[in-house]
Copies of this chain bind each other. A is one copy, B any other.
Amino acid sequence: MNGSATSRPPLSPTARSTLTRSKERARGDRADLDAVLDAGLVCHLGVLLGGAPVVLPTIYGRDGDTLYLHGSTGAGNLRAAIAGAVSVAVTLVDGVVYARSAMHFSMNFRSAVVHGRAVEIIDPATRLHALEVITEHAAPGAWSRVRLPNKKELAATMVLALDLTEASVKVRTGGPNDEPADIENGGVWAGVLPVRQVWGDPVASADLEPDIAVPADVLDRAAPDLVPVR
């Protein structure tokens, strides 16, 4: 989802959102953060549960400077998320970096890490909007053609919002950073083996009536010739 981009400050440079290692990989613009968050399919949510960190994958959506999460009202991890600080990471792996020496092997990636406090959304209109944002992130174009949440479903769902004010973005591209001596010695292949996510062909549900065509929003996303996601 795209939000208003007017007068948005750069990413917050707090101690934990400032890279101390490999600083050249840091990106400081909100557009960089948006790009990584919008390209991901799932995030990893870190909460504090019984004094220990717990990391869990979950779907999400972004609208402007807000990240939305949702889940069952019975989910202990979401309750833990609103009880204290959270951290949310979205990572896209773009390749394995093959170096001339073992310690220079690496990954090309784009990652965003957000820190903050998640708040539960109570307002019904905002809740419904957040659910639309999350659904449209997972399945762009689907919200307008499916049955929307009913009262019972809404009552069983917890919706959280996290401000995107404190975040760091890291991007690694290119080949290995080999030692000059190893490059001079030569004889070892060095480069990148790219990796990417691709969509397959849509698979109809076993209980689907035979006369229902694949909708345009699914068909446009699917790529029988394996065109990359981005």
Contact = CB atoms under 8 A, between A and B. Distances in A.
Contacts of A49: 16
Contact of A193 (B76, B153, B199, B208): B199
B191 A16 contact: no
A109 B42 contact: yes
A131 interface: yes
Interface stretch (A3-11, A27-35, A139-147): A139-147
A229 B149 CA distance: 36
A86 B205 CA distance: 39
A161 interface: no
A64 interface: no
B200 A197 contact: no
A38 to B, nearest CB: 15
Interface string A193-227: 11111111111111111001111001001100010
Given A54-B46, A87-B53, A189-B213, A147 B194 contact: no
A13 interface: no
Interface string A160-178: 0000000000000001101
Interface residues of A, number: 100
Contacts of A205: 175-176, 178, 190-192
A67 interface: no
Contacts of A41: 93, 96, 107, 195
Contact of A96 (B21, B89, B138): B138
B20 A74 contact: yes
Contacts of A157: 103
7 contacts: A48-B52, A53-B55, A175-B206, A189-B213, A191-B204, A195-B198, A195-B229
